[in-house]
Structure 1
């Protein structure tokens, strides 16, 4: 039985970028996200002692989400140029350490992570999904946990691990009902509108009583507070659409995912080019003589 870490690349990249000052190379090239990224990857190696780490990135948006909701994620700001410049190096650092990097045009990283998690657990492995994304809570189960990075706004909270009980404490419902919960309350970060006025407490109460979106719709005339009865019945199509948007896909082919030997020479060279001398020295200490 192996321990597998599945990393949400963009989630961690943004946290690396916003979690450190605006560091730059002597020529002005931004390096803050690279500094944070290296520290994050090494922190995860030290905390978790994984047998394999796989990093997943979005690639060109999600075709299925755009078809369902053209305004999906349309409310998000453009990626900061300084982070965009560093992204290729984040991928390269991960690969040089020996972590496979997975992305697919038109498929959201969350769907690839869910698919990989299912494949590994079916093979008998334990999986840790590293991301703060709410959608991924639906993957948590007996052999899958979710590791939430320390929030950039409150780093003292530290890293937090969610098992099934942790997901239920956070959302008020077990992992299997997370999609139904998100369909009701919406997801502002993804521009998915819920039912106006329905918050976490109301959504949780309805799901505990009626189990699912279908159950809630079938019993719309019994919902409390009564003011929501007509609104929920009229929102049937919205709720069904939302459920499709927030329910992850578990059947994508993620290819061969195997640990690679670190290419220490190439990693050290890259870190030195970024004028990250201390990290370069630490890389030698961690990985010794590599293949690069």
Structure 2
């Protein structure tokens, strides 16, 4: 993929930064800073390795009211964010905006929807996009101009960062990007508290979708589905599976940033950034920021 935009799933990366760093604190008051150190390093590594035309980070702000209306238990099982990370999130957002990386958020709208809508809008305008996230939901927007950049799995970090194009999605999931929402409707998504069809795993779901094209195709052929034990269950659970599909599909109709707004979001506020890093006693990062943004031609 040529020069591109990086669109970054903020909380996904923030959790990785938090768990990937030791418990660091500010000396004068014990304020936690481990995630902040990891955050800044992670962003700079990404920018250096991918050399994008531009980059934006997206954050959640209150979650999706539409999905909660459809399914009140949506994401209800998620553990509380650890207190030290909760304390650092507002500062992560401040640092992100000062670094010229947007920090895009909207009340009552999931960041995944905001990011997906922006990615598709950029792709439609001819731009190449890489979505940075471990969230498999984003596989549904992968296409000719959109790739999914997966971070190294915690269980096997030696795999490194991996980029998924449409062929990579098929290789990983057994279905095309256009079938991912249907696939997730069938297998469920434990991270979002969306229960799939009991007993149906990835291989079975992929086999059905390869044969029948879509969730509606699978439901239309429920009487012929194999293994036979799923025939009655599919017919009985049809409406719940359609609800699952609604929950897993992105809202791509959301407003996106204009060219002018994109340019404004990319503006680095070096004074604010250096001030924040100094306040946080992140002196190595402060020196690095001075080099990067005072002499951007070196990066």
Q: Establish whether TM, by shorter chain, passes 0.5.
A: yes
- The superposition leaves residues 236-285 of structure 1 with CA deviations (integer Å, 9 ceiling, x where unpaired) of 01110000000111111133222533222321221121111111111111
- SS at the partner of 1:257? helix
TM-score by length of 1: 0.96
Matched, 1:33 2:39: no
State the Cα distance separating 1:95 from its structure 2 match.
Answer: 1.0
Matches within 5 A, 1:32-111: 32-111=34-113
- The superposition leaves residues 183-219 of structure 1 with CA deviations (integer Å, 9 ceiling, x where unpaired) of 0000001000000100011001100000111000110
Aligned mates of 1:25, 1:81 — CA distance in 2 = 16
Equivalent in the alignment of 1:7: 8
| Cα contact 2:3–2:51 (8 A) shared by 1 | no
Aligned mates of 2:132, 2:23 — CA distance in 1 = 24
Matched, 1:152 2:154: yes
Aligned mates of 2:153, 2:283 — CA distance in 1 = 27
* From 183, 195, 198, the counterpart of 2:197: 195
Equivalent in the alignment of 2:233: 231
| Cα contact 1:265–1:289 (8 A) shared by 2 | no
Aligned mates of 1:216, 1:271 — CA distance in 2 = 54
Matches within 5 A, 1:171-186: 171-186=173-188
| Cα contact 2:55–2:266 (8 A) shared by 1 | no
Unmatched segments (≥5 aa) in structure 2: none
Equivalent in the alignment of 1:162: 164
- SS at the partner of 2:228? coil
Equivalent in the alignment of 1:278: 284
Unmatched segments (≥5 aa) in structure 1: none
- The alignment's C-alpha RMSD in Å is 1.4
Aligned mates of 2:30, 2:83 — CA distance in 1 = 13
| Cα contact 1:63–1:107 (8 A) shared by 2 | yes
Aligned mates of 1:81, 1:272 — CA distance in 2 = 23
Point out the more displaced range, 199-208 or 94-103: 94-103
TM-score by length of 2: 0.94
Aligned mates of 2:165, 2:136 — CA distance in 1 = 13
Aligned mates of 2:164, 2:126 — CA distance in 1 = 20
How many matched pairs? 290
| Cα contact 2:64–2:108 (8 A) shared by 1 | yes
Matches within 5 A, 1:201-216: 201-216=203-218
**Structure 1 outlier segments of 4+, above 4 Å:** none
| Cα contact 2:129–2:147 (8 A) shared by 1 | yes
Equivalent in the alignment of 1:257: 262
